[in-house]
Amino acid sequence: MRRLLLLSFLTVVAASSASALQLGLGAYGGANIPIVQEDQGSGTIFGLKGKLSLIPGISVEPNLNFAKFGDAELDFGATREGSKVMSYGIDAVVGAGMGTVGFKMYGLVGAGIYSTTRDNDEDASKFGWATGLGFEIGFSPTIGLDIRGKLNVISSEGGGTKKSAAVTGGLNYYIGY
């Protein structure tokens, strides 16, 4: 039964998207803000993404992100260097059309692998998830300005999580329009 459902889904997707395959590329940068982490300060984030729409209004975005937290000043007067995080994953985006002119809002949810490094600390690669909201302003069918807020949640040792909010802005370029 599972195979039949998967085959049916793939057939419908292939038939409906053979002539309507939409592809985009994007780059972005912004602020990376720790949430309830006293040992991290605010830092920066930048990244690259692809965007593939197989069904109108729903797209997937494979992405690669590079983030750095700022140094944190601890209660007893010491300073601790912020972590660096490299992540790759995939987001599902619902609500924004690709290659359209005007204002479009969207929501997203995704998952990925987050690799964290910090001097004098153990390096770790952990599973994490993300969710967020954003909007895009299409200037032409091929170029759009993308602004989003995204909550990143990374699993950590002992069952806890590390959370950060990323606020980014960037450009999307749509191919084939």
45-103 confidence digits (pLDDT tens): 999 999 998 788 899 999 999 999 888 777 777 777 778 899 999 999 998 778 789 99
> 113-124 as b/e, with b when 16 or more CB fall inside 10 Å?
ebebebeeeeeb
Tell whether the model's pLDDT for residue 173 goes beyond 70. yes
The predicted pLDDT at position 20 comes to 61
What is the pLDDT at residue 143? 95
Q: Output Rg (C-alpha) for the chain, integer angstroms.
A: 19
Instruction: Please provide the average confidence, as pLDDT, over all residues in the chain.
Output: 85
pLDDT at residue number 2: 56
**Domains of the chain, each with CATH number or no CATH:** 21-175 (2.40.160.20)
Mean pLDDT within 32-54: 89
H/E element, 166: strand 161-175
- Give CA–CA dist 57/36, Å, rounded: 34
Residue for token pair 């944190």: 72
- Residue 40 pLDDT exceeds 60: yes
Residue 17 has pLDDT above 80, yes or no: no
pLDDT at 82: 77
Predicted TM-score (pTM) of this structure: 0.80
- Confidence at residue 6, expressed as pLDDT on a 0 to 100 scale: 55
Compute how many other C-beta atoms are within 10 angstroms of the C-beta atom of residue 82: 21
Q: Tell me the C-alpha distance between 119 and 114, whole Å.
A: 17
User: Shortest CA distance to 103 belongs to which of 141, 137, 129, 68?
Assistant: 137
Is the pLDDT higher at 75 or at 111?
111
Find all residues with CB under 8 Å of 28, minimum gap 6, and list them. 46, 47, 49, 146, 148, 168, 169, 170, 171
Token pair, residue 85, equals: 């995080």
Tell me: pLDDT of 35 over 70.
Answer: yes
- Residue 133 CA to residue 105 CA, distance in Å, equals 8
**pLDDT category of residue 106 using cuts at 50, 70 and 90:** very high
